[in-house]
Homo-oligomer: A and B are copies of this chain.
Amino acid sequence: MKHGIDYSLYLCTDRRLMTSATIEESVEAALKGGTTVIQLREKDCSSKEFYELGLRVKKITAAYHVPLIINDRVDIALAVHADGVHVGQGDLPCKVVREIVGPDMLIGVSAATLSEAVQAEKDGADYLGVGAMYATNTKTDTRPVSMEELLKIRAAVNIPIVVIGGINRNTLGNFKGTGVDGLAVVSAIVAQPDPEAAARELLRLWKA
């Protein structure tokens, strides 16, 4: 699963913003619409709840042959046999995560600067989430990344890059021709009245 991943449309879940009744429904709608990677992000539940949710979501992503990536919690990623784990700059360092998970699990790292990006690749990251590209209500603790910085990062690292933060049908066109591998979105799918249709439309616009 680790190689040959299609990063075109990468969804981060958010139960606070979703229009679906459950995370499982939100994820399945996104997958029906063609979403190519699912990242499960939970900040306010117990470890047991995260684990049990992870097991249920893993069954769904596996049925669609799409990788499941767990945000922050390396132990939950191992416990549910996720395909990967994604860490931000405030999470466990990538190098330490690699020691824990071994060579086969995907590690994604959030990077907002060239130096964070280069360090992450050096420390064994398999892909980067670069952003926030635009102001967003989903995460308020992020710095904006300029297009210039994104292009510097793209030129400096060889691993896949998804852009994140304010990516939607109106902004995605700005990333065509930049060499990034895909779009990471939250509200552009989960907060829409029809998440499946929203995912399909994002993918169509991105590939057009």
Contact = CB atoms under 8 A, between A and B. Distances in A.
A73 B87 CA distance: 15
Interface in A77-111: 78-79, 87, 89-93, 96, 99-100
**For the complex, would chain A's binding face be called helix, strand, loop or mixed by DSSP majority?**
helix
B100 A75 contact: yes
B79 A47 contact: no
Contact of A91 (B47, B72, B87, B96): B47
A4 B93 CA distance: 33
Interface string A174-192: 0000000000000000000
A85 to B, nearest CB: 9
**For A46, A49, A79, A92, which residue has the most chain B Cβ atoms within 10 angstroms?**
A92
A73 B75 contact: yes
B72 A92 contact: no
| The 6 nearest A-B residue pairs measured at CB | A74-B75, A75-B75, A46-B90, A47-B91, A48-B90, A78-B100
